[in-house]
Structure 1
Amino acid sequence: MNTANRIKSVTLGGVITIEELVAIARFNATVEFSETYKARVKAARELVEKWTREKRVMYGITTGFGILCDKLISPEETSLLQKNVIEASATSIGEPYTVEQSRAVMVAVLQNLGSGYSGVRLEVLEMYREFLNRGLAPWAPREGSVGYLCTEAHLARTLYGAGKMYYRGQLMDASEALKLAGLKPISLESKEGLSLISGTSSPTALATLALYDMLKASKAADIIGSMTLEVSRGQLPAFDERVSKVRPHRHQAETAANVRRLLSGSPFSASAQGHHLQDPLSLRGIPQLHGAAKKTLDDAKMTLEVELNSCSDNPFVWPDISEPDIISSCNCDASYVGLAMDSSCIAATMLAKMSERRNTHMIDGNMSGYPWFLVKQPGLNCGMMVPQYSQAAILNDMKILSAPATVDSIPTCGNQEDYVSMGYNAAKKAVTVAEKLESVLAYELLSVFAAHQFIEEGVKPGKAAKALLKEMSLHIPALDKDMFFHPYICYLKEFIHSGEILAIAEEAVGELF
């Protein structure tokens, strides 16, 4: 997987990847429009303006919205209609998007409306591009969307100077933020208000951020699981490539290869072979469970990259030279994103449930052969006892969040929208699940670090574990007695989230699958 923080600039106009969206949203890569992007936006806009002048009946342009689509709107009222729909749709409440999430949604909007099938003016899209490049992020509460309209409307209000924005990290009135950034508010014209809030932009954006972190965490799970296997004197025959040849799932074989590579040349692992016949499933089943989870995440990645490079506006413009048309359809439905993220939440939770079991194996003195809770003088000290309580609680949260959102449907819009995908909620909870997976893995890694104090003198871990333990020891003291563990857990979570754990491991043993 490409590292998003290495991408400094992204040009929209062709296919973009989830790494490129994350590069813009999280790492502030600059955004440019290709000449192709500009040309196709202008071509579609010319058609919308022509048909509006001709008083053609077009959903949401010369008609009302939803079940009110039989109400005709005069050409003189088309601009007011677009502002009205933005104002009336900004109904989401609760905690706001982070700056990163707000930026991600804007990128998804630029992809959606810049596809050449939407019909908005280039000037509108240039405003969002300038927001991204000048450090502006609209404030938008994230609760209360079924997949479109509500959160996007809060973002869109800032285009004409309403609402609030973050400017270089500071929250202020949008009008003031625009002024400080050297921008002037714009007015919306025919179709533009509807387009800005239609489509799958917000679920796709949140899903992309979540999936990027889940994919990184799945590799971190291989690394941490291998370190646990090593310190637990795990038996390597379960990872023999012949095992995967008789059950040829690609992701299983790749995970087993990762474990072999991570433990290759480990004196400690070599010395443990033949110590016992068979390990618990949480150790010997790493290729099987991790592999199944990675396949699900990879499937989700393919889905999101299609969605990220699609037009999900409604209605959309078909600028075919011989037969141009405007078509009302349902590409704004978020079922693809929702199902992908419901499945990804389950996959992430499965990675976490195995991590918790491996952790428990290490801290249980009857199973590991180490002192109870990996601490000297257990009884006087609790050691890794209570961190596992927190790990269990977070895993329980993940299990709750793994209940699928997309199986539900509550009709909206006077039953004009008599089915609703709920893909937004699937994507929204995936962001939380991804963060919790990193936390669960951090607790396991803390126990691995604690366990190494009991390794016999002169027995060395493999190259990857050695490099990781060396880095961790710069931030974590010897865990030989009770102390305030919280800052070390937070450090390890960020160690995983940032991808540093993966970078160090791959520096030691080469690129992992």
Structure 2
Amino acid sequence: MQKPYLKSITLGPDITLEDLVSVARHGARVEFSEEYRERVNRSRALVQQWVDQNRVMYGVTTGFGALCTKAISKDETSQLQRNIILSHSTSVGEPLTQEQARATMLMVLQNLGRGYSGVRLAILEKYREFLNRNLVPWIPREGSVGYLCPEAHMALVLLGEGKAYFDGRLLPGAEALEEAGIEPIELCAKEGLALISGTTSATALASLALYDLLGAAKAADVIAAITLEASKGLIRAYDDRVMRVRPHPQQRDTAANIRDILADSEVIDHCRNARVQDALSLRCVPQLHGAARKTLLDARRTLEIEINSCCDNPIIWSEPGEEDVISACNPDSSYVGIEMDSACIAATCLAKMSERRNNRMIDETLSGNPWFLIKNPGLNSGLMIPQYTQAGLLNDMRVLSTPCTIDNTSTCGNQEDYVAMGYNAAKKSVQIAEKLEYILAIELLSAYESQVFLDSSLARSPVTAKILAEIGRHVPTIEQDVFLHPHIEFLRNFIHSGRLAEIAEQTIGRSLL
């Protein structure tokens, strides 16, 4: 069942997807553990020592990318770090939402706070203050290949440049800092590079999207069960004996969810032997939902590793006797990108089945209900057009399900001749999650409006009854055409907030995922 959102998160130990959402979406405060502070200070001391020794370090005593052969003097170190922020702030278009920007700041704190980046604790304290005072940098979202540009726009505000939201207003960076009571900071060796290096924005967007996709997957099971009941479907297809002979655990779990949600349904019991089998969209829910669930849970495992990783370059290794600076490429966003490309495909599969279930309910020839679930079709269109909305959303989702990570455009004078494109995979997953929620909301609307055509003497399952009662407080039984948009929005928010799944979980006494 859904856990309450935390009011504060302490960085140092590993954090979860829910912790990230608590900070980004619900404003939880961020604190640093003593362990966090110690490991940051330890790696910073090494960088400072090596700078004093004039050791060659990528991005510290050299230029960046294809310019890594250009030497930078000790006197130019600070200017180099400022320059990288200014020159890399080139993403364009509409900004990230404030929760997405907050999630990105948290990911920078996680990335650099692992103690392998060599930045000063004072830099990280600034972002912590930004989060805790809700000062949110303005970050254009378009034009990243995996990292760099969004993070650079965010770091501008540390310098008193760029723009930021504070107290509900978008202000110049310096003005936002002043109003928040935060001083700008000058960057030192390696800090500009570290602030923009890593999978931080990609992981932030992916994590928010995946959280919503996991919630939508739970909702999809609930809504499919309500639709099965409204369609007088056959529960026999969900028999655990069927699931045991194809032992994918997620398939079996989905079937158990449907059985438990529909337990004690007189409607389901009444039609138990009505026919041999149902259409695939009604009997194949465990198979498709299970496959989607596996993909999303795989993505969760990967993202939680990424959330708690150092994805910087170079890496500062500070173990006694093994001290080293290692240039490699942990900023590569393939793990995030491939998982979110896959998650988008999984979500689109959930959506395509939802649209088909909805179509069956509104089609008189398939459901036996009046066309479009309205008592006087012809004069009224009923629920004809919401299915058009599903079709349009589903077309978008199919386009967005084309993988980003299979693409490659070389950058940086061919120094970066392979590019992961994980940021775009994460970015589109945000859109996918929202569209899935709307498609499920429209199916739920039809399932709700179908109830009037069911035998009222037959009891619905306890889960269905509670959910229908909650919806009934906000959505009318439609007897003639009404303005449908507010009802679709209500149902989408019912799904997005987690309230729909929460009612089901409280009733059956366990988590659906």
Q: TM-score, normalised by structure 1?
A: 0.99
Residue 246 of structure 1 aligns with which residue?
A: 245
Distance 1:121 1:2, change over 3 A: farther
Shift of 1:457: 2.5
CA distance in 2, matches of 1:310, 1:227: 41
Is 1:507 the counterpart of 2:492? The answer is: no
CA distance in 1, matches of 2:308, 2:211: 17
CA distance in 2, matches of 1:404, 1:308: 22
User: Structure 2 counterpart of 1:97, which letter?
Assistant: L
Residue 19 of structure 1 aligns with which residue?
A: 18
Is 1:366 the counterpart of 2:365? The answer is: yes
Residue 264 of structure 1 aligns with which residue?
A: 263
Q: Map of 1:439-454 to 2, 5 A cutoff?
A: 439-454=438-453
Residue 138 of structure 1 aligns with which residue?
A: 137
Shift of 1:509: 1.9
Residue 279 of structure 2 aligns with which residue?
A: 280
Shift of 1:89: 0.2
Shift of 1:328: 0.3
- Secondary structure in 1 matching 2:428: helix
**CA-to-aligned-CA distance 1:155-210 (integer Å, 9 cap, x gap):** 00000111111113321112121112111111111100000000100101100000
CA distance in 2, matches of 1:95, 1:341: 22
User: Structure 1 counterpart of 2:92, which letter?
Assistant: I
Which residues of structure 2 form unaligned runs of 5+? none
Shift of 1:460: 2.2
User: Structure 1 counterpart of 2:380, which letter?
Assistant: N
Residue 436 of structure 1 aligns with which residue?
A: 435
Residue 209 of structure 1 aligns with which residue?
A: 208
Residue pair 2:337, 2:423 contacting (<8 A) in 1 also = yes
Q: Map of 1:130-279 to 2, 5 A cutoff?
A: 130-279=129-278
**CA-to-aligned-CA distance 1:83-119 (integer Å, 9 cap, x gap):** 0000000000011000000000001110000000000
Shift of 1:6: 2.1
- Secondary structure in 1 matching 2:31: strand
Is 1:31 the counterpart of 2:30? The answer is: yes
CA distance in 1, matches of 2:2, 2:112: 26
Residue pair 1:2, 1:19 contacting (<8 A) in 2 also = no
User: Structure 1 counterpart of 2:271, which letter?
Assistant: A
Q: Is the deviation greater in 58-67 or in 456-465?
A: 456-465
Residue 88 of structure 1 aligns with which residue?
A: 87
Which residues of structure 1 form unaligned runs of 5+? none
- Secondary structure in 2 matching 1:269: helix
**CA-to-aligned-CA distance 1:240-278 (integer Å, 9 cap, x gap):** 100111000000000000000000001111112112221
Is 1:471 the counterpart of 2:465? The answer is: no
- Secondary structure in 1 matching 2:23: helix
Residue 313 of structure 2 aligns with which residue?
A: 314
CA distance in 1, matches of 2:2, 2:124: 27
Residue 424 of structure 2 aligns with which residue?
A: 425
User: Structure 2 counterpart of 1:37, which letter?
Assistant: Y
User: Structure 2 counterpart of 1:104, which letter?
Assistant: A
CA distance in 1, matches of 2:171, 2:479: 48
Shift of 1:434: 0.6
Residue pair 1:450, 1:480 contacting (<8 A) in 2 also = no
CA distance in 2, matches of 1:233, 1:291: 22
Is 1:79 the counterpart of 2:72? The answer is: no
Residue 301 of structure 1 aligns with which residue?
A: 300
CA distance in 1, matches of 2:47, 2:324: 10
**CA-to-aligned-CA distance 1:403-434 (integer Å, 9 cap, x gap):** 00000010000000000000000000001101
User: Structure 2 counterpart of 1:364, which letter?
Assistant: D
Residue 324 of structure 2 aligns with which residue?
A: 325
Shift of 1:505: 1.4
CA distance in 1, matches of 2:184, 2:387: 52
CA distance in 2, matches of 1:292, 1:456: 34
User: Structure 2 counterpart of 1:379, which letter?
Assistant: G
Residue pair 2:236, 2:272 contacting (<8 A) in 1 also = no
- Secondary structure in 2 matching 1:419: coil
CA distance in 2, matches of 1:463, 1:457: 15
CA distance in 2, matches of 1:445, 1:479: 14
CA distance in 2, matches of 1:386, 1:148: 41
Is 1:398 the counterpart of 2:394? The answer is: no
CA distance in 1, matches of 2:81, 2:480: 64
Shift of 1:2: 5.0
**Alpha carbon RMSD of aligned pairs, Å?**
0.9
CA distance in 2, matches of 1:332, 1:371: 56
- Secondary structure in 2 matching 1:6: coil
User: Structure 1 counterpart of 2:458, which letter?
Assistant: V
Corresponding pairs, count: 512
Q: Is the deviation greater in 498-507 or in 340-349?
A: 498-507
Q: Percent identity?
A: 58
CA distance in 2, matches of 1:229, 1:169: 45
User: Structure 1 counterpart of 2:507, which letter?
Assistant: A
CA distance in 1, matches of 2:452, 2:177: 56
- Secondary structure in 2 matching 1:336: helix
Shift of 1:48: 0.5
User: Structure 2 counterpart of 1:137, which letter?
Assistant: V
Shift of 1:352: 0.2
- Secondary structure in 2 matching 1:386: helix
User: Structure 2 counterpart of 1:48, which letter?
Assistant: V
Q: Which runs of 4+ in 1 moved over 6 A?
A: none
